[in-house]
Structure 1
Amino acid sequence: MTYLHSGLAAAWMMAAAAVLPATSVQAQDLELTITAPAGAGGGWDAAARSLQEVMMATGKARSVQVVNVPGAGGTVGLAQFVQGAKGSPDQMLVGGITMVGAIITNKAPHDLTKVTPIARLTGDPLVIVVPASSPYQTMADLMEGIRQDVERTIWAGGSAGGADHILAALVTQAAGIDPAKVNYIAYSGGGESLAAMLGGQVTAGVSGYGEWQGQIESGDLRALAISYPEPIEGIAAQPLKAQGIDIELVNWRGIFAGPDISAEDKAVLEKAVGKTVQSPEWQELIKARGWSDYYAPSAEFAGFLTSETGRVHSILNSIGLAD
């Protein structure tokens, strides 16, 4: 009789185990690797390391490592991630509007339909700056400089076709000049473009406000405008729209899992990230970095990606950067 009960119990345990997903992980057991598809010092690197810091501090993951894979506006890192993270429950990738633009501009073989949206994280106001030594005191001064000599108005920013490039081209267009003539130098990370700004090698620069906040506050860089439609508390620079220039652009960043992950693993990652970005620690961190909370869960983020890709393609087409 005992043998029969033991046999039934064993059979029941085996049946129960059979319905559990083999790859399923729990949040407290997560040992993650986050790919930042750009060099150190840029916005994606900062987003990845911020997520790393808060996930570990709040116990939403056991360990988190960040790896940098720079190149071609994030499309090199995206391609490597698509190939190496298929079905993986412990790998994630940071991306954003710049990657959307780079995919279109570079005709990249992989796009964001190949990965799994987990969450939209932050919205970073882009800022237009000039070196402290620049004769340009206002946006009106800079736009007059563009009208006088667009070729000698040299812009620094992130990769070609990304948010920085789009904004520089839109400003050029608003100045009444063919946006395809914008003289834009793409750098692989925020550190490189900052060095060009501080070295006086370029006329103006575009980046996320948080990346250059320290240099703006120290007076090394002069902020002429932000790309948000409305003023932001704590930022002295006024929106382009408030200065009579009809341009707005949000530099959003999000987090993705690899292709073909199980529904169970996706749910675990979404829950872990969602609880992280809703924590007081995350809210304090993004405030300190000058970012805004732009969180959207997986399903909402997926719908946003579809509309955003169409919008970016339309903008790039209008300024001669896409077919």
Structure 2
Amino acid sequence: MRLRRLAALAVLSLAALTACGSDGGSGTSALRIMAPAAPGGGWDQTSRVAGEALKAAEPSRKIEVYNVPGAGGTIGLAQIAGEKGNGDLLMTMGLVMVGAIEQNKSKITLADTTPIAKLTEEYELVVVPAGSPYKTLGDLVTAWKADPTKIAIAGGSAGGTDHIVAGLMAKAAGIDPKQVNYIAHSGGGEALNSLLGEKVAVGISGIGEFAEHVKSGKLRALGVSSPERLANVDAPTIKEAGLDVELANWRGFVAPAGLDDEAKKRLTDLVTKMHDSPAWKDAVLKNGWADVFQTGQPFADFLAAEQTKVKGIIAEMGLVS
């Protein structure tokens, strides 16, 4: 009889532990943040800045940032999809991933996640190595039109923001976007290495990924994808070169699907606390990001609209078959 009671208690204890492990996370548990790209790029930078801001906002909470590179973030996306109900996990993502999902024909989409928050926007910068013969964007466009396939352009993943900007610039210059010699990299850090090693002629990425090397003189900024010149970037707009191109990259957080309302609120509150912290505000200012914080249904609606918009853009540019 005693053995039977002990067995029953063991079953109840196991059930309780299982329930605790699947309740969407606890208020004091460790939080993991996935950067679905290689170290050195925009997602990695955002993830690590967010991790430091979260540590400052909640010193007692353990924060781990880790990388899962590949396929424009869709490898990381597939991992998130396999973590259904895990309320202690966030993935940094953005416009790049929206395009990569289409480009890679990923069966896993953002519909398989829980939208948490849009964080920042950042414009794209077109740069060349310091020793490049192209002194202006006009010089580059002239050479590009003469032989489109000769100009190798480094950027992030295929179908991502950098690739889209290259395609839009080509189209505006009268070049078939399919002729763009775009060299995709798994992250901004790798694209930067190709530029500094002069393995490519041009680089396109977020301002924050090139800013330090533009200031040091290792890279020359030719144009920025903003509607007007920016105070923190010594470069004309792409529009000033006669190319009607304007695009902002955005980044945010999603969590695994299957979270209950309590777990979703807990994560949203935590990210809101991070956003409101002095550490995050300072990082946004330092990196030249625009603060576009948005949570809940408005962010979910924004995601849906972006997927429709980007799908149309990359289809028009011939980036998907």
Name the TM-score, length of structure 2 as normaliser: 0.90
Higher deviation after alignment, 58-67 or 173-182: 58-67
Tell me the residue number matched to 1:69: 68
Tell me the residue number matched to 2:132: 134
The alpha carbon displacement at 1:127 in A equals: 0.4
| Structure 2 segments unaligned to the other structure (5+ residues) | 1-19
The alpha carbon displacement at 1:124 in A equals: 1.3
The alpha carbon displacement at 1:24 in A equals: 5.7
The alpha carbon displacement at 1:126 in A equals: 0.8
Other structure's SS at 2:148 match: coil
State whether residues 313 and 322 of structure 1, in contact with CA within 8 Å, keep that contact through their aligned partners in structure 2. no
Output the CA distance in 2 between the equivalents of 1:89 and 1:197.
39
Tell me the residue number matched to 1:163: 161
Other structure's SS at 1:79 match: helix
Other structure's SS at 2:209 match: helix
Aligned residue runs from structure 1 range 166-185, under 5 A:
166-185=164-183
State whether residues 60 and 272 of structure 1, in contact with CA within 8 Å, keep that contact through their aligned partners in structure 2. no
Output the CA distance in 1 between the equivalents of 2:146 and 2:298.
44
Output the CA distance in 2 between the equivalents of 1:300 and 1:307.
11
Tell me the residue number matched to 1:82: 81
Tell me the residue number matched to 1:266: 264
Percent identity between the two aligned chains: 44
The alpha carbon displacement at 1:320 in A equals: 0.3
- Render the CA deviation track for 1:53-94: whole Å, top value 9, x for unaligned: 0001111770110111111000011001111x2001101111
| Structure 1 segments unaligned to the other structure (5+ residues) | 1-19
Q: Which amino acid aligns with 1:203?
A: A
Output the CA distance in 1 between the equivalents of 2:98 and 2:25.
30
The alpha carbon displacement at 1:241 in A equals: 2.4
Other structure's SS at 1:282 match: helix
Q: Which amino acid aligns with 2:212?
A: G
Tell me the residue number matched to 1:13: none
Tell me the residue number matched to 1:23: 23
The alpha carbon displacement at 1:164 in A equals: 0.5
Q: Which amino acid aligns with 1:55?
A: L
Higher deviation after alignment, 192-201 or 58-67: 58-67
Aligned residue runs from structure 1 range 1-323, under 5 A:
23=23, 27=27, 29-59=28-58, 62-83=61-82, 85-323=83-321
Q: CA RMSD in A?
A: 1.7
Output the CA distance in 1 between the equivalents of 2:136 and 2:123.
18
State whether residues 144 and 175 of structure 1, in contact with CA within 8 Å, keep that contact through their aligned partners in structure 2. no
- Render the CA deviation track for 1:116-145: whole Å, top value 9, x for unaligned: 010001111110000100111111111111
Output the CA distance in 2 between the equivalents of 1:21 and 1:38.
28
State whether residues 198 and 220 of structure 1, in contact with CA within 8 Å, keep that contact through their aligned partners in structure 2. yes
Output the CA distance in 2 between the equivalents of 1:115 and 1:24.
14
- Render the CA deviation track for 1:229-276: whole Å, top value 9, x for unaligned: 222222111222244321111110010110111100100111110121
